[in-house]
Structure formats: C-alpha cells, structure tokens
Amino acid sequence: MSNGKTALITGGTSGIGLAIARKFASSGFNIILVGSNPAKDYSDAVRDVSELSQKKKDKPWVKSYGVEITKESEVAHLVKALQSEDITIDVLVHGAGVFFDTPLASDSTTRFERMMAVNVNGMWNIIHSTLPLLKKGDSQTPGSKIVALSSICSFYSFATYSGYCASKAAVTALTRTLALELGPMGININAVEPGRVETAMHDKLINDPSQASLLRSIAEANPSKRAFSKPEDIAEVVAFLCSDGARALHGASIVVDEGTSLGLGA
C-alpha cells in the first residue's frame, strides 16, 4: 500500500540510486527519480521502479526529471514544479555523482572541476533548494531524512583519484556540518561510504576479460571475498538510515565496503 510518503533520489535513474528507488518503491513511497538531462529518456527507469509500486494498493506514483544538478537554476525549476503539485519530501537521497581519473601530470583540470561541481556543488544545490519541501520535526517528532552517497575515497587515498577523493571528502564534511543545522529542524542527514559497487562506474573492470585476474585479486583481498557490493546492499543501508531506528544518527558516515578499507590499512 502507498505509505503517502515521497522519496526524491538524485542519481535515481541509474546504478545505486535506482536500487535505492526500487527499495523505497517496494515500501510504498512515491518516487521522484532525478537524472542529469532534461532531454534524456528515463522511461526504462520509471517503468522498472513503477513495476514495484504498481503491486501496491493505492498505486504510489513514480516521476522522473532531468536536472543538471550543478546549476542551481535548474534545481530551482525542479523545486517549483514540485511545489506546483504540493509535493513535499520525506526522504532525500543525493546519489548523483561522477568519477574520473585525475593524474596530476596530465590535463585533468576539467575533470577535477566537474567532479567537484556534480558531487559537491550538486549536493549543496539539492539540499539548499529543497529545504522548503523537507518536513521539519523536533526532538520527539521525526522530520525528513537525508542520505548522501559518499565513498571510502573520502578517507582513503588512491593515487590518481585526487579529484574524486577530494570531492567525496567534501560530501562527508558537508554531511557532518549540515547535520548541525538540520538536526534542530528534526531532519537527520547521514552519509553512506561504499567501496566498489557493481554499477556502470566499473563497466571496464567488470566487462574487460583482461581485468579478470585483477578482479580475482580484489575479491581475495576483501574480507568478504567479494570484489563488489551490489547496489541493493547499499540500498538496504540507506533504507535503515531513513527509518525511525536510525533517529540517533546525525552526520554519521556508514562504511559499506566489503571490508575493503580495512584491507587497505585505513
């Protein structure tokens, strides 16, 4: 059955964000999927999530929007569209993100700036702009929940990943510091720090046969003996962070990485 609540997921059109959308849809949430491009066709993602929603009584709805999250004007446009339909947000997930290699000795500046813009400015833009749509609570009554997808790269360094690591460290720092302002409004904000998750971000590693032995050694090095988490593993933790059981968590970062960072001595 519809639970009458709404979850907005940036990055909800692909990978981990899509798995999170599916998880919330199966709990009866209305879903707003946010991808990157107003001209892009997100009907496959909407159909995928709707299949879970449509099994519910009262049929929760699923919508998609293409929003260049780095542009505050586009995010403001999304907020206006939601306001015109009297939509408020119970769960906000910032999953939109990009990854590029940024070797210092190569021409990496554009890629560095793009990661900061999408991963960090995008997080600021979506939280800052949707604040009027988030439900305020108090010490007794829970308000909306926010979860940011960070990465173990926020605290562990990988050579040539400087831009990505810096952007994810900023996502985790934003989570901690915004918690100080959002907590008194009854809004929890927390972060999840995945290791490697089986999504398009790792297409090359997964699909290139020449990488097979590397994949085996990654799995072998992980305490879990799996090279990758599934997007659904991350979605489970996000769902917990958005539940009443997580009400004491403010500005926390939950590592979900198959134990990878332990093996790296982090």
Task: Tell me the helices (H) and strands (E) count for the chain, helix number first.
Answer: 10, 7
Minimum gap (Å) between residue 237 Cβ and ligand NAP:
12
Minimum gap (Å) between residue 204 Cβ and ligand NAP:
12
Listed in sequence order, the DSSP H helices in 41-97 are 43-53, 72-84
Q: What's the rounded Cα separation, in Å, for the pair 9 and 30?
A: 11
Q: What are residue 229's phi and psi, to 5 degrees?
A: -85, 160
Listed in sequence order, the DSSP H helices in 8-155 are 15-26, 43-53, 72-84, 109-115, 122-130
Q: CA of 259: how far to CAs of 6, 28, 93, 174, 203, in Å?
A: 32, 32, 24, 24, 22
Q: Six-digit token pair at 84?
A: 């015109």
Residue linked to tokens 């609570």: 137
Q: What's the rounded Cα separation, in Å, for the pair 15 and 235?
A: 10
> Among residues 226, 220, 219, 200, which one has the least CA distance to residue 11?
200
Nearest CB to ligand NAP, comparing residues 16 and 246: 16
Minimum gap (Å) between residue 247 Cβ and ligand NAP:
24
Nearest CB to ligand NAP, comparing residues 97 and 142: 97
Minimum gap (Å) between residue 139 Cβ and ligand NAP:
31
Nearest CB to ligand NAP, comparing residues 68 and 236: 68
Nearest CB to ligand NAP, comparing residues 39 and 105: 39
Which residues form the interface with ligand NAP (CB under 6 A)?
Answer: 10-11, 13-17, 35-37, 40, 67-70, 95-99, 118, 122, 149, 151, 194, 196-197, 199-202
Contacts of 156 (CB under 8 A, 6+ apart): 165, 261, 264, 266
Minimum gap (Å) between residue 83 Cβ and ligand NAP:
20
Nearest CB to ligand NAP, comparing residues 1 and 110: 110
Nearest CB to ligand NAP, comparing residues 105 and 200: 200
Q: What are residue 10's phi and psi, to 5 degrees?
A: -75, 140
Q: What's the rounded Cα separation, in Å, for the pair 242 and 27?
A: 12
Nearest CB to ligand NAP, comparing residues 114 and 176: 114
